[in-house]
Structure 1
């Protein structure tokens, strides 16, 4: 699954997105519990939860930005080559260094005036007095806007290179290609966080419900669209899981072997049906390999 640099960095990004989202949501639950117990909220107990929540939510957005820029890099800059080590260094500096810098500056500029967190209802960044919430809103919405632009560019490139002419008959329609790409990339790029604008400018309960529902299920969407629907992941599971059963129980060796064979055949059929070959026939081999590796990010 990680034989080439593009696939490797894709999985590194997904792992760090998942870890950041997990820790941020745990901090959110802790902050909610503290705010529910104390009114007004305790600065001493809320501040650590708010800091780590701020840091890891920002890390989530910056790792989603890295995923988008990786796809953009492999889609547009097809002749450019960057080593895996260099990509890793850049990714971790941007993914964790930039959020940490923003979180520390926010604390340093507001904590002395006791305007770092809200005084009532929730453990979160202050808005009414210090506008500290902008230290989260501005980077988050900026990244969502950049990722949306990357998604549009990727869709344009795929359609322009004639996806419909090289895919299976049931996937030739451009709308099918667009729908698949949007379903896979939306949770990884965090585009549903764009509904946060509606929660800031409107008190309509419907917008708040949609925002909470989509973003609370972001991890599930990443699991389904970013991992389980990956043909290479399914193929690997079909091979490895029966082999583990084979080694643990000799009495089930025959059934495990037949299950492995049928599983591999099934996932190979799925892979042949789902994989997109978006390279052009008349391009050079270097461009073809780079194009194919970039679209492996969308549907391996």
Structure 2
């Protein structure tokens, strides 16, 4: 199989996995607080990655570790908590759609942090996508007046983190194996997670004996196995065989999967929200559209 075909397969599979992640986070929050959920995700995912790929840490050189640690916090640790806090107030389908902002911020991070230029079409795409996000938040607030849609800002911050991580992997970690990056990332963040979990009150009797404890724990385990471990390795490989912007184009399909699961779970999704989502995806399309070269006269 050629790398061209492989990158499209990775893109499709990742969209299914990550599109399902938001409903799993929602279910996990039935038994845990956002801090407990974030810390649990980091710990469980680390253990699983150590089991399947601990030897891959050998592929990380001493000069790469500072980038591995930074990638771990920016691309995994911080977003885990941001999405958990966001979904205490906004629907999982809305979180999935807002995640589509990643390619837009990837472009900006690439420009300001790594000196990667962009075209006028891409600049327009960023502006269109941000307008779509603003409309989505506005319409969502109207559909769910009891929800605090300022929490959508947590998702926006998480997308900026993902954008930074995509550029970081592409520019600094090309020589490290995808499994090595994933295992290294979580090895770097597991100690803070271990410290945070008991401080969050996780081991209190009312939490452990809670009605939703075991079911929520089950959802988080599934999220860690598929949505974190498997998907993380696939994404790292996708970045390496494509480009930072192409790799985060997985966000084209994530909203479709997220809306599907959200609707099944009883979430409301209106026509204005749909048009706002289309506006975001159109912006993403413009960002990823290749510039047509001018013909010589």
Q: TM-score, normalised by structure 2?
A: 0.27
For the pair shown, the structure with the greater C-alpha radius of gyration is 1
User: RCO greater where, 1 or 2, for CA within 8 Å and sep 6 or more?
Assistant: 2
Give TM-score, length-normalised by structure 1.
0.27
